[in-house]
Amino acid sequence: MKGILHASIRGANMFKSDSFTRRAPPAVWRYGLAIVSVAMALGITLSLEPYTTLRTPFLYAAILITTWFGGIGPGLLAVTLATLALGYYFDPPIRRTLAAEAVDAPFILSFSLLALLITWVSAKRKGVEKAHKQAHDELEAKVRERTSDLQRANEELRIEIAERKQAEEAVRQAQAELAHVTRVMTMGELATSIAHEVNQPLAAVVTNGNACLRWLAGEAPNLDEAREAARRIVRDGKRAGEVIARTRALLKKTGSEKERLDLNEAIREVVALAQGEVRRNRVALHLELAGDLPPVLGDRVQLQQVVLNLIMNGIEAMSAVEDRPRALVLRTQSGEINQVRVTVQDSGIGLDPQSIERIFEAFYTTKRVGMGMGLSISRSIVENHGGRLWAVPHDGPGVTFEFALPVEAAGAT
């Protein structure tokens, strides 16, 4: 008995060694596992025979281990070997014989059936765990693949967003440059009127200066008249300075520097700058500015450029009108909720429906001369302020341009 036990242990050690598993084919070590495990279980059971009457637990364990690690084939081999070993070594009354009369048939049959059940359950459980592990591995692989795809997509999206931001910034800079060029061209068209607006107060300054000198040069200087002439000099000097300051403001380069803005005040400054052109073209300009107009958040120079462009377009549209008054109405009012609306209405030649659809396109113009950029740039400026600009044709003569801007939000800076 001791010899059998020692042989089983040595066989098990040999089977577990790395050198054996490397040399033996997979089928050999799986079926070898059945032989070694049953031999070890038999050896242990024989060694414990003097102390216990239990003969099957270690054999069941050998069958279970063989089926779990070796599969259904080696498990069935282990069942066969264990059954033969049980009948040969432990079946009374005649031991170590395979004679039919020596076999306890019910005991052996029950052992065999339970061993087969253990084999089947173990194989099924192993198959389920193997399928679960395979599904888990496949899921992990898919998750890793999907995660990698998402990371690549996120990186591509990040690069695309960065490129789009750069492109948008380049477009904004180009629009700002183009808007500045358009302002300079508009001011060039107004050069004669601006010079007239500056020359008037400067001529008045010279006249009042001479008068002041005369009042002071008499034998009895008239200080009251001289003082009044000096006040007029100061007034006219400020007037000329304001014209120059407004001109410089519209000519300077500017980004989108938004601030809290009184739109009525900004419009009055533009109107003052365009008064010379209004008078020269015999236009009656009517201001209808709402007194309760809420402030907007915007770039003063850019919005003044929009208003000035609409005024100049209205004046030019009426330049050929001789049979009716040349009336230009500039109106502000509270529009829809949280909006203010600016309206510029002329009594000129009007626009046909085809032109209404295209006048805001770049390089499209209905003028005899012009680049066709003014209205396109004006619409871009208004839209960059969160508003919109559109044209409304009249049933009769003239056309109305309107733009709406959002009111400054409470607490905005």
- Beta strands at 327-334 and 339-346: parallel, antiparallel or unpaired: antiparallel
Q: What is the pLDDT of residue 114?
A: 83
**pLDDT tens readout for residues 260-296:** 889 999 899 888 878 888 888 899 999 999 888 899 9
At residue 68, the pLDDT reads: 83
Q: What is the mean pLDDT of residues 298-313?
A: 85
Any idea which fold 257-413 has? Heat Shock Protein 90 (3.30.565)
CATH (one of 3.40.630, 1.25.40, 1.10.10, 1.10.287) for 190-252: 1.10.287
> pLDDT at position 2, please?
43
Residue bearing the bigger pLDDT, 349 or 295: 295
Q: What are residue 45's phi and psi, to 5 degrees?
A: -65, -45
Rounded to whole angstroms, the Cα distance separating 185 from 371 reads: 10
Contact (CB, 8 A) for 261 and 295: yes
Residue 372, CB-side half-sphere exposure with 13 Å CA sphere: 11
The percent of residues above 70 in pLDDT, for the chain, comes to 74
Average pLDDT of the residues in 121-125: 82
Cα torsion angle, 64, 65, 69, 70, sign: negative
Lowest mean pLDDT among 207-221, 244-258, 300-314: 244-258
Instruction: Name which residue leads in pLDDT, 90 or 233.
Output: 233
The yes-or-no verdict on residue 234 having pLDDT over 90 is no
pLDDT of residue 330 exceeding 90: yes
Question: pLDDT by residue (tens digit) across 96-109?
Answer: 444 444 446 787 78
CB atoms within 10 A of CB 26: 10
pTM: 0.51
Instruction: Specify whether the CB–CB gap between 226 and 212 falls below 8 A.
Output: yes
Q: How is 156-208 classified by DSSP, letter by letter?
A: HHHHHHHHHHHHHHHHHHHHHHHHHHHHHHHHHHTHHHHHHHHHHHHHHHHHH
Residues 316-320, mean pLDDT to the nearest whole number: 84
Report the alpha-carbon angle 357-361-363, nearest 5: 130
> What's residue 181's pLDDT?
66
Q: Looking at residue 20, what is its pLDDT?
A: 44
pLDDT score at 32: 85
User: What is the spatial distance between Cα 318 and Cα 127, in angstroms, rounded to a whole number?
Assistant: 92
- How is the beta sheet containing 399-406 ordered, strand by strand? 284-289, 327-334, 339-346, 399-406, 388-393
Task: Say what the pLDDT of residue 316 is.
Answer: 86
Instruction: Determine the pLDDT at residue 179.
Output: 64
pLDDT score, position 213: 84
Q: Which of 34-43, 104-113, 175-184 has the lowest mean pLDDT?
A: 175-184
Q: Which amino acid is at 96?
A: R
pLDDT at 24: 46
The full set of domain ranges for the chain reads 2-145, 190-252, 257-413
The encoded tokens of residue 7 equal 């042989």
Confidence of residue 56 (pLDDT cuts 50, 70, 90): confident
Asked if the bond preceding 93 is cis, omega within 30° of 0, the reply is: yes
Question: What's the pLDDT tens digit per position in 142-154?
Answer: 898 888 888 888 9
Please state the rounded mean pLDDT for residues 325-340: 87
